[in-house]
Amino acid sequence: MSQASEVSREPVVTPVRVVIGLCLVAPFVAMLWVGSYAKKDPAFIGIPFFYWYQMLWVLISTVLTMAAYQLWRRDQRARASRKGGEQR
């Protein structure tokens, strides 16, 4: 059997990939659950809660996406190094 046709024995769903998925799904859940933030109070420097909550999630989403990307890169490097180690 050639190396190209071999099937990878590594699991597709790993704890790291679950965390990556949660980081990417959390902003969607937070924004689609409108009932949790559809109110005026508490206001922040005169801005109703409805607006500043959404703007806060823009920043949180950025941080979560960066974290997911870093975790993904680390996972891909680890998989590549394990794959390279098996062939030697």
User: What's the predicted TM-score (pTM) here?
Assistant: 0.77
The answer to whether residues 23 and 64 touch, using CB atoms and an 8 Å cutoff, is yes
- Contact (Cβ atoms closer than 8 angstroms) between residue 30 and residue 57: yes
Per-domain residue ranges for the chain?
A: 34-75
Mean pLDDT of 62-85: 91
Contact 57, 27 (CB under 8 A): yes
- Convert the pLDDT of each residue in 13-59 to its tens digit: 889 999 999 999 999 999 999 888 888 989 899 999 999 999 999 99
Query: Predicted confidence band at 86 (pLDDT cuts at 50, 70, 90)?
Result: low
